Structure formats: structure tokens, C-alpha cells
Structure 1
Amino acid sequence: MAEDVAALMKHLGIEKADFTGYSLGAGVALQIAIRHPDLIHKIVVISAPVKQSGWYPEVLDLMAQMGPDTAKSIKQTQLYQFYPDTDWEALFTKLGDLVRQDFDWSKEITAIKSPVMIVFADADSVRMAHIMEFFAQFGGGQRDVGLDRALRPQAQLAILPGTTHYDILSFPMLAAIITRFLDSPMPEGM
């Protein structure tokens, strides 16, 4: 998917962009930053781990079971009503194959030079210990940044209260938090 986005940007003549992704889409945004750092201005990763083991075990169990039978449960949702012509069985089969793949991008993300914001729910499907490990890979949470903020990492972390992986996008202040990050000046030398 990252390669598709890069090709589309080239086709449209877009040299650089900010990327925001949620869950699977956040993984795509991370892959764009890893594979095509020249296309990234800033990146916002919402509710996605940097490695497969970042998910809680029960989430991994659900991913292991994802397939055509999962499509039956979608018929009672608004999503199904919005997209009635979707082949849900084929979609969940492909998604199941994708989400069962083991991954660990820990080393690759350390090469990301663009400003990064990672956003999680306080009751996310991603383990809190993993969230802190993820933030630490960008230098966050390692020390006091000082009164002058000189030691502040370029990465930012937001933990949204009263939210879960499944409702984080409806948090009333999410858009304002992301906009503030995207509108802030680029660090010197970028």
C-alpha cells in the first residue's frame, strides 16, 4: 500500500506531504516514511504498533481468526450499510492474510528524520509498554527536556483519555491536537 501511495503522489506531482493514518493506515504511513522518506513532511501515527507483538495477545488471537467468516458479523453494522456492494468476504480474507504477518519495524523507524506524532487511546489495543517503547525509539520519555526545552525530542506522544482503539477517532480534541502538530514550525535544519 505504501508503494501505491508513493506512485500516486508521483503521478499527481506531489513532492512532499503530511501523512496521518489510523490503525492499518498508520502502518501504511510508517511504511511510506521508512521506504520513501523524501515524500514525508510530518507524520501522525494513530493507534498502531511498530511491531506485531505490540498488540495485546487477545487482539492477535482475533487477527489470527480473521477471514471470510468475519464478514458475517459486519452485516449488522453501519459500515455494511455505507458500502453494500463491497465483497466483505474477499476483503476480510485479504485483511486476515495481511494482519497475521509478523513484523518489526523498530530498527527502520529510527531512521525517520521527519517530525512524528504518535497518538494512542488510554485503553488501546496496543500494549501501553509498547507505546512507551515506540516513543522511546524517537528519543521520547528518556529524560527531562530542560527548562529551555533544548533536549525535547522531535517526536510527540498523545494519550487520549477515555478512548479505545475502536472509538479514538471520535475524540473531540483529536483534530485540534493533530492540527497543532502539523501547523507547528518544522525544526531547524529540516
Structure 2
Amino acid sequence: MSYAQLDGVRFWYETEGEGRPLVLLHGGFGTAETFAAIRPAFARRRLVVSVDLPGHGRTADPGRPLRYESMADDVAALIVHLGLAEAEVLGFSLGGGVALRLAVQHRQLLRRLVVVSAPCRRQGWFPEVLAGMPEPDEAAAERMRGTPPEQLYRRVAPRPQDWPRLWVRTGELLRRDYDWSSEVAAITTPTMLVFADADSVRPAHMVEFFGLLGGGHRDAGWDGTGRPAARLAVLPGLTHYDIVDSPALPTVVLPFLTHVSTPPT
């Protein structure tokens, strides 16, 4: 476990395992502990680099609003700082948005991208999920005292009193509209999308997202030569809230990370 001082952000990270680097990006209000159940499976095949995103966990508030784009720049700076050439990146939920922006803004740093339970435009979430996004006010943060995310933050954060600030900044981020469809269609990094079959993301959007990456447009053919570079996995019996605890996630992701890809014809 260590810190890297990068352009005003004191970035916390830890490493486990050895081999090609795999960077894990947690969801909103989370920490590296998000991946505790599945990290050992990845660490048997990869040098796993788990981070606490800006304002989360052990990485203190950066003194600016949280934006997917700026957090992607922060993660890119960490990858360069640590010398993680051609890193693989897996991001979950909010971290999936950061990972997706990383592929858009810093594609030269990535070998493979895995986006777990995150849409490429805000309207990809179910309407009730959008309606339940955190209210960006400190009074709402106070009402969350004693919840598991707040208890974890209080236990590991360098400034536990900043919990209301994290709540407000995250609420502001999640309530901002975005649509990255055109940028996603231009991504050249081999990408895998993973969702639960009872996810917070609409199934129709899962297919739309996959289509933007070149998937689902034609039959692959008997020899598979028409298979797209992108991959789509929908894991049965899971939800947005337990997908990162399931051994099914590394089971489907690891073959994608180790597969030698060939350009689609």
C-alpha cells in the first residue's frame, strides 16, 4: 500500500500479484475494498493495482468537483507514474465511467478495457435509478451516517469529516447529463462489457452500448471470423449490488484479458 502525489491529488493505491498490470476502479462511495471478494482470482494471473478514486477512501478530496473526465486524467497520471505500460483496466459503476473515459482520453495507455455495470450515457440507467441518485446537499449526507459506505469512509479516510463533501460532489456528478455514444463508437481498445441480468442499467442499453463497440451487427459465421473485437457478458442471478462479489465476474473476464485478439474482418 502506498501513495503517489500527482498534480494535487495524493493518490492511494495497493498492489497484489504479479504479471501484466490490471487496474481496478471502484464505484461511487466505494474503495479498493469493493473488489475484496474477487481480487485474489485476478491476482493469480495479474499484477492487480487497486486504487481509491479522488475524494474516496484514502485518497483525500482533490479540492475540485468530481468529473469522470478529470478522474480519468488522474488515473492516467497514476498509470504513467507507476510505469504500467499497456495496462488493463476494469471499472465498476462510477469506476466504469472513469474507465470508459480513460479509453477515450488516454487510449495509448490501455491494452484492454472492462466496463462493469455502467452505461455510456446517463439515460442508460433505469428511470428509478436516476430518480434515486444522491441529492447533492450535506443534509442528505448526514442522514447517511451509520450506513456501510459511511462507516467504511470514516474508518479509512484521512479526513473522515469530509464525508458530506464526498456525498455532495458525487451527487453533483451523478446528476449531470452525459452521452458518450459518438466517442464510444471511436474506441479502438478491445473492450468487454459485463452486466448483471437484474442490473441498474437497462438491458436495451446494454445492447445499444455493445452495438456502438461493433458488436451485434452480424452473425459471426461458422468459423467465428465475423466476431467483433468487443465482448458482452450478462451474468445470471446477479444485480448491480452484488456483481463484484461474484466469482462469475473473474471467470468471464480473465479469458478476455488473456485472449490474443485479431482485428475483425
TM-score (norm. length: structure 2) = 0.67
1:50–1:104 CA contact under 8 A, matched in 2: yes
**Alignment partner of 1:6 is 2:76:** yes
Partner of 2:256 in structure 1? 181
Partner of 1:37 in structure 2? 107
Distance of 1:64 and 1:173 partners within structure 2: 29
Distance of 2:161 and 2:188 partners within structure 1: 38
1:22–1:45 CA contact under 8 A, matched in 2: yes
| Displacement of 1:16 | 1.8
Q: 2:220 aligns with which of 138, 145, 155?
A: 145
Distance of 1:123 and 1:82 partners within structure 2: 26
| Displacement of 1:188 | 5.3
Q: 1:68 aligns with which of 138, 153, 159?
A: 138
Structure number with the higher helix fraction is: 1
Distance of 1:145 and 1:186 partners within structure 2: 15
**SS class of match (1:87):** helix
**Alignment partner of 1:163 is 2:231:** no
TM-score (norm. length: structure 1) = 0.92
Distance of 2:200 and 2:239 partners within structure 1: 7
Amino acid in structure 2 at the alignment position of 1:21: G
Partner of 1:82 in structure 2? 152
Number of aligned pairs? 189
Distance of 2:212 and 2:173 partners within structure 1: 25
Structure number with the higher strand fraction is: 2
Partner of 2:209 in structure 1? 134
1:67–1:95 CA contact under 8 A, matched in 2: no
Distance of 1:75 and 1:49 partners within structure 2: 29
RMSD across aligned C-alpha pairs, in angstroms?
Answer: 1.8
Distance of 1:141 and 1:186 partners within structure 2: 17
| Displacement of 1:17 | 0.5
Distance of 1:93 and 1:17 partners within structure 2: 31
Bigger relative CO (Cα 8 Å, ≥ 6 apart): 1
Amino acid in structure 1 at the alignment position of 2:192: M
Amino acid in structure 2 at the alignment position of 1:108: E
Task: Please list every run of 5 or more consecutive structure 2 residues that lacks an aligned counterpart in the other structure.
Answer: 1-70, 155-159
Gap change, CA 1:67 and 1:124, over 3 Å in 2: farther
1:71–1:88 CA contact under 8 A, matched in 2: yes
| Displacement of 1:24 | 0.5
Identity of aligned residues (%): 48
Gap change, CA 1:91 and 1:131, over 3 Å in 2: same
Partner of 1:122 in structure 2? 197
